[in-house]
Amino acid sequence: MYEITPNILEKEWTEIEKKIELVRPFAKTIQIDIADGIMVPNTTFLDPQPFKKYTKDIFFEVHMMVDNPLKYLQPWADAGFKRFIGQVEKMPNQEEFVAQGQLLGEVGLALDGPTSIDAIKVPYEDLDIILIYTSGKAGFSGPPFLSERLDKIREIRAKNSTISIAVDGGINDQTIVMAKDAGANHFGTTSFLFSNNPLEQYKKLKQAINLQ
């Protein structure tokens, strides 16, 4: 199943809410990116509580670019989030993160741009999704797409034909086709989506991959 997901990375709740309101009429899933300034040199809004206003009606996932994502699982689950994706680079125990995540909803691991797929130490079968950052390094929206990142998607897809593979970083109506052809089926979009009318940009992405 193919899915296009608006990604929101902001420092202030007012900006997050503004974007949620823009995409809620058409988005089936919304991804919230959080950063603590340790794993990446950026800090975002980190309070899950205000999201309760929306999580009953929309499927929310959180992408944790933080030190020890495990400690963020329960608070974000309590706020109604259903999918939890943690960066492996600052994750002391992948097995524990995945086990706890499975109890709370869907769970996945994320690889920063330079990180090899060998950094994933748990069986793919234990994961609902793997996220590949397709720009340089995670933490900011706007960096360009790097086609060499597609090799990681191909490697994962060769090992597992059913797992969801998400891409995040530089996704537009051209690069989404490259990512799909490499084996990705879950496409996160930030700068492209919000650079113009989000609904029209969303339609362009759907048309690019023939998504009904």
Q: What is the pLDDT of residues 17-60, one digit of tens each?
A: 999 999 999 999 999 999 999 988 899 999 999 999 999 999 99
pLDDT above 70 covers what percent of the chain?
98
Q: What is the pLDDT of residues 147-177, one digit of tens each?
A: 999 999 999 999 999 999 999 999 999 999 9
Long-range interactions of 174-179: CB distance < 8 A, separation 24+: 174/208, 175/134, 175/145, 176/4, 176/205, 176/208, 176/209, 177/208, 177/209, 178/145, 178/147, 178/150, 179/134, 179/150, 179/153
| Domains of the chain by start residue, with CATH | 3-208 (3.20.20.70)
